[in-house]
Chains A and B, each alone.
Chain A
Amino acid sequence: MSTVITLSVLVQNNPGVLARIAGLFARRGFNIESLSVGPTEREGYSRITLVVDSRDANTAEQITKQLNKLVEVVKITEMEKGQTVRRELILVKVKATASERGDILALVDTFRGKVVDVAADALMIEVTGKFGKIQAFLEMIAPYGIKELVQSGSVALARGSKAITDRSRDKTIRVNR
């Protein structure tokens, strides 16, 4: 049984911090499904969204605790289903003959995507959304012929007005389950 969890990790943006995190996952045999990293509202801090396949609840707890031990990790929150807005982005280049173009554009519209580049026989489409929506879009578009696909990692924020840094200044330590 596997449990996929999403962790939002606030880190000091020091050189090497990503290598440390990637190394930790490799060394302890944890699996990263997706990872995205970027700056935050605070200078000097980055936010890493990690989607992790954590065989069981115990492993999930170990992952959080081991991450917490990294000195540059300031805060970790596990993003709870239902309380979280989560997005991925794809750019996909689809074969599009003149006769198919109309159908494809209709699909893009349904999924609230955008055509971002047009070539004689192809379209580049941008779609954002939850994992499931993106998968559904890709299934629909596949029959036309996907020439190239790039997909971002997940990014996620908790709903409501609070920020990750509000809840407590200390690290979340989930020992006292």
Chain B
Amino acid sequence: MTTMTGAQSLVKALESVGVEVAFGIPGGQVLPLFDPLFDSSIRHILVRHEQGAAHAAEGYAMATGRVGVCIATSGPGATNLVTGLADAYMDSVPIVAVTGQVPSTAIGTDAFQEADIRGITFPITKHSFLVTRAEDIPQAIAEAFHIASTGRPGPVLVDVTKDALNGTTQWHWPIPIELPGYKPTITPHSRQVAQAARMIAEASRPVLYVGGGLVKAQAAQALAAVVDRAPMPVVTTLMGRGIFPDSHDLNFGMPGMHGTVAAVGALQKADLLIAVGVRFDDRVTGDKATFAPGAKVIHCDIDPAEIGKNRVADLPIVGDAKLMLTDLERHLADLELPDRSEWIEYLANLRRRYPTWAGDKGDGALQPQEVIRRIGQLAPEDTIFVTGVGQHQMWSAHFLPHDQPYRWLTSGGAGTMGYCVPAAMGAKVGCPDTMVWGIDGDGCFQMTNQELTTCALNQIPIKIAVINNQVLGMVRQWQTLFYNERYSNSELHTDRYPDFVKLAEAMGCVGLRATTEEEVDAVLAQAMMINDRPVVVEFVVQKNAMVWPMVPAGTSNEEINYARDMAPTWEEEDL
């Protein structure tokens, strides 16, 4: 046993759980921690805003499958993490946030930079600790990492008072984890899975509805094996894009508010949904009363509370998605499966008749869909794509290749503008040999672009495409459709300020711009060649492009339009 300060034990505990990278900003109450961190093997990246630290931790976690770490001081430092924690909570991203806190004797006195960050984050963390004694620090760190990374992953906050950091303690490790109330169910009940296989064998219009849970469980192979064994249509949610290759004939794309007609049709017409690692989010179901009206539901999730929350499950299965799918494939092998070619052909026909974008040229300026498709075509196969939130995000969901799993980072549940740049930074730190492309909006980019300075200074050469349509595009789209084209506060005037190229250069990046189709390939080729610095490419695109298809908020999926006022006919007239 060695005597050390609480802060030293915190750093040692982080090292002992395997932390290699942390993102953060120091400040008064957390300064004792930054001192031993200076000598640590942990690479601490000094960000420019704590929100960036939290999203970077998320990006790192999503790209590597490991726990991301962010550090902030008390009060405003900690509250700046809130958006990132909320984002990680909604999308089940394993991160640990370490925050400094005023000394335990000052808690409750409204001391300088005191904020009850644990109280503030109760609803948006999987769990949290307030540590007031040096000797409790390693235990809290060990448990925080365990909780963040097991079961349904999520963000965990460890708030440490300054006196705990400055106090002395005896170091001992490993630490037995004592969490009597935390025992996630990992192994699915085999009888339930056998029952699932039988239901699949009996169904005539089954659909595999899969999402982010499969990404967290790294279940791409297990899913592919199930579809090989029992060919049936697959739809992948926004969070699950890439978990099953888009190039596969049985992938009918993304369901939901901006889903493909074929994917939405698949859910609506199915007689059985095999829902795995999804949560029947309102952006997928639309009006719940009319969602998938003819379908029985098998729902598998590692979080029992998701089952039956939004849709009653006929067969609930609690457990890890990979284990469940692996077991399911084994059970399916013993069964006679019916021919589903008619059902598959019905959906393939919908896909042919209602492509997501027909390639219309609009007003002649660059089409954002085309730009995004082109980035996907020219980037290496294993590129990690990260997006902001808005129209460009939906287009990225549709038009990037999505043929490789675990390469798609987006803010789904929270829809956090500002996610792209810092999350891309975190992804690149975690996967330095992989190309990382951020596809961002001109609105989103202006929320967190300062982290490009961090990237430039720390040799984190990410590439950011700013899809500049001069407006808060998604907001404008709703105003066009539902507010009589009254464009209240959605004009960003990004044709005037900022000058994105100059802004990029001012932050130590290469700044490029494309305004015509001919320029697109040239700037992309140039951008892909640069490996020593971050690159920002501004694409000046038309502002009137809209995301289609669309199910208007709160209405039934049956109301889907594939273009303005254009509803699909579910049956071909001459059929």
A171 touches B122 (CB 8 A): no
Q: Tell me the residues in window 97-150 of chain B with beta carbons closer than 8 Å to chain A beta carbons.
A: 118-119, 122-123, 126-127, 130, 147
Q: Once bound together, how far apart are the Cα atoms of A8 and B57, in whole Å?
A: 38
A27 touches B180 (CB 8 A): no
Instruction: Mark the stretch among A10-18, A79-87, A114-122, A147-155 that contacts chain B.
Output: A10-18
A175 touches B307 (CB 8 A): yes
Q: Once bound together, how far apart are the Cα atoms of A169 and B130, in whole Å?
A: 27
A20 within 8 A of B: yes
Across the two chains, which residue of chain B brings its CB closest to A76? Answer: B181
Across the two chains, which residue of chain A brings its CB closest to B119? Answer: A19
Collect the chain B residues with CB atoms within 8 Å of residue A176's CB.
189, 192, 316
Interface size of B by CB at 8 A reads 25
Collect the chain A residues with CB atoms within 8 Å of residue B497's CB.
none
| Contact code string B179-219 (vs A, CB < 8 Å = 1, else 0) | 11111010001001000000000000000000000000000
A71 touches B122 (CB 8 A): no
B122 touches A23 (CB 8 A): yes
A73 within 8 A of B: yes
Instruction: Mark the stretch among A57-65, A90-98, A129-137 that contacts chain B.
Output: A57-65
Collect the chain B residues with CB atoms within 8 Å of residue A175's CB.
304, 307-308, 316, 318
Q: Contacts A68-B304, A69-B305, A71-B181; is A27 near B123 (CB within 8 Å)?
A: yes
Closest chain B CB from A47 CB (angstroms)? 13
B538 within 8 A of A: no
Closest chain A CB from B82 CB (angstroms)? 15
A74 within 8 A of B: yes
| Contact code string B298-313 (vs A, CB < 8 Å = 1, else 0) | 0000011101110010
Q: Once bound together, how far apart are the Cα atoms of A74 and B122, in whole Å?
A: 18
With beta carbons under 8 angstroms apart, the residue of B123, B183, B307 that contacts A171 is B183
Across the two chains, which residue of chain A brings its CB closest to B151? Answer: A69
B181 touches A12 (CB 8 A): yes
Collect the chain B residues with CB atoms within 8 Å of residue A20's CB.
122
Collect the chain B residues with CB atoms within 8 Å of residue A11's CB.
181
Q: Once bound together, how far apart are the Cα atoms of A70 and B122, in whole Å?
A: 10
A142 within 8 A of B: no
A66 within 8 A of B: yes
Across the two chains, which residue of chain A brings its CB closest to B317? Answer: A175
Across the two chains, which residue of chain A brings its CB closest to B124? Answer: A27
Across the two chains, which residue of chain B brings its CB closest to A44? Answer: B180
B181 touches A171 (CB 8 A): yes
Q: Contacts A62-B308, A68-B304, A175-B308; is A19 near B122 (CB within 8 Å)?
A: yes
Known: A65-B304, A171-B181. 11 other contacts (CB 8 A): A12-B180, A16-B118, A23-B123, A27-B123, A58-B308, A62-B308, A62-B309, A65-B309, A66-B305, A175-B318, A177-B316
10 cross-chain pairs, A with B, having the tightest CB-CB distances, nearest first:
A65-B305, A74-B181, A71-B127, A175-B304, A23-B122, A175-B316, A71-B182, A27-B123, A74-B180, A73-B181
